[in-house]
Amino acid sequence: MESHRETTERCQRIRLAMHEHVAHRLAHALRKLQGKDDAAAKQRRIEAQEKYQLVHILERGVRTVEQIAVASHIAKGVHPDLPVKKTTNLAVDFSSLPMVDVVGSHVLSKRDGLHDTTGNGSYNSAAYELYLLLECRVEGQKLIDLLRLEDPDATEAVNSSAQLDNAAALCIQLLEPKCTAVSANTLSKQIYWLTGPDACDDAHYTLLAPLYATSLAHAVHAQVQEDRFGEANKAARQARRERKVHDGVFHDYPGLAVQNMGGTKPQNISQLNSERRGMNYLLSSLPPKWKVNAQRFPTHADSVFTRYFDSRPLVRQTVKTLRRYLESNPNPVKDTRDHRKELVDVLVDEMVNMAAELQHALPPGWTLDDPRFSALNEDEQTWLDALRAELPEEDDFANRWLAMEWPDAIGTRFGNWLNARLEGKLSFSDIEFRAWKKELLTDEDGFSQQLRERRKRIRGARKGGQP
């Protein structure tokens, strides 16, 4: 009697785990309807409440076992009319697949419940809900594994919940292959794959019948959807558009294509295909098209502000916009000053970017060793070739850099350059001139911050550096 009571208690725990799974599925379905109060949404809520009941999932699910295959690789993804009982569908254990350095179904090895249901479009959904129920875990084991072991408590929990004496046996049957022999069909696609050295010898070919990796396709779709439309990517995209610093990662899929499967009835392919409304993403496999542009350098010039800085497209456009704005004689109010500062900040950012590009493209000491840059004035050499200060025997250069007299000179050159681009039609006072000059040194997010970081590096790299 004691043993029977313990078995009964365990049976109740199994039944409770099944009810919790169904409640979770119901909550998931209702979340999709949050904020919707139209007649269609109300009807869908009623249908969800009816669908997600344990007895209904079991009873409706076991009626489908003869017509539905549970699989990770399906035939109907290749052709919608392939019969499930006469064509091979594969239910792959992802964890058993070899790990290789390409994307494939093996990357799903740590995921549960990613198999699909395929066969009859009218029954795919009911079969899928039963499949998910059988995948739920009870005391660390899947319910389906307990049923296969003929666990008496699990069997009783399923049979009593479905009010069917053979419900447990039918559940096991759902996951059994519907086509027991390896078989293709006249509607299957076939590929002759060369496996030997002689392409003229028919014996050196293997005939392949491809299946559709539906589980992988569903996982890829979910990832792409999140990467494209998730809140994190929206924030990253906004920051990218506004040219702001952002801690997150911006995801993009260039050349993304969509394959629609099933037409107006995606459920005829499989349940997961129906959940995606037939949408299957195809990632571009084309090689990248590199735009090779010879990088220009400020060769044989006494200043980067002579022609080099002007050649940057954003610089030209920003100066043009700034000149046009000032020529409109805007009222001397705060909004005017703020807008002008925004445009000047763009130029300052471009100047900082230009310096960074030169430092990355050219080796440390390029102003020292390359005669093409010998005419560049000393202040700009100090600014643009800062890594030269870390080279041996460049103590004089390092001391000149650390003296920090050159930033004011660069600010003056920047102010002179900007005034030269604007003074044709506009006149500026001394105060206005000093404002252009000051921008370079007051950009806390850009140049001045880089100066502080660079100063620490150079002082740390050189013995006897200035305190």
CA pair distance 70, 178, nearest whole angstrom: 9
| pLDDT at residue 156 greater than cutoff 80 | yes
Residue 157 scores a pLDDT above 90: yes
pLDDT tens readout for residues 80-117: 999 998 999 999 988 888 888 888 888 887 665 689 99
Length of the chain: 467
* pLDDT value at residue 50: 92
In the structure, what pLDDT confidence band is assigned to residue 16 with cuts at 50, 70 and 90? very high
Share of the chain above pLDDT 90, in %: 40
**What pLDDT sits at residue 467?**
41
Q: Which of 58-62, 354-358, 441-445 has the lowest mean pLDDT?
A: 441-445
User: Are the C-beta atoms of residues 116 and 271 closer than 8 Å to each other?
Assistant: yes
Instruction: Answer with the residue of higher pLDDT: 281 or 331.
Output: 281
Which residues sit opposite 431 in a β-bridge? none
- Confidence category of residue 4, pLDDT binned at 50, 70, 90: very low
- The helix-helix angle for 313-327 and 406-422 (nearest 10°) equals 60
Q: For residue 20, is pLDDT > 80? A: yes
| pLDDT at position 437 | 55
Confidence class for position 287, pLDDT limits 50, 70, 90: confident
Write out the H or E segment, with its range, that includes residue 191. Answer: strand 191-194
- Compare 381 and 111 and report the one with higher pLDDT: 381
Q: What is the pLDDT of residue 315?
A: 92
Q: Which residues, 6+ apart, have CB-to-CB distance to 344 below 8 Å?
A: 322, 418, 436, 439
At residue 428, the pLDDT reads 56
Query: Looking at the predicted structure, is the pLDDT value of residue 283 above 80?
Result: yes
d(CA 279, CA 263): 10
Q: Of 139-148, 357-366, 454-463, which range is least confident?
A: 454-463
Q: Per DSSP, which regions of 290-356 are E strands? A: none
Q: Tell which residue, 144, 70, 69, has the closest CA to residue 114.
A: 70
DSSP helix/strand/coil, 348: helix
pLDDT-derived band of residue 440, with 50, 70 and 90 as boundaries? low
Q: Identify the bridge partners of residue 259 per DSSP, sorted by sequence position.
A: 280
Please state the rounded mean pLDDT for residues 313-340.
Answer: 84
Provide the pLDDT for residue 444.
Answer: 47
Of 52-66, 67-81, 127-141, 338-352, give the lowest mean pLDDT range: 338-352
pLDDT of residue 294: 61
The model carries a pTM of: 0.60
Token digits of residue 8: 């009964």
Mean pLDDT of 210-229: 91
Assess contact for 130 and 279: CB atoms under 8 A: no
3-state secondary structure of 249: coil
Whether pLDDT at 451 is above 70: no
Query: 27: pLDDT confidence band, cut at 50, 70 and 90?
Result: very high
Beta-carbon contacts of residue 25 (< 8 Å; ≥ 6 apart)? 52, 129, 132
Q: Which two tokens stand for residue 150?
A: 């003929």
Per the structure block, which two tokens stand in for 253?
């899929």
- For residue 286, give both structure tokens: 């084309």
Q: Which residues contact 221 (CB under 8 A, 6 or more apart)?
A: 276, 279, 280, 281
Between CA 272 and CA 183 the distance in angstroms is 23
Average pLDDT over residues 440-450: 54
- What is the pLDDT of the chain when averaged over all its residues? 85
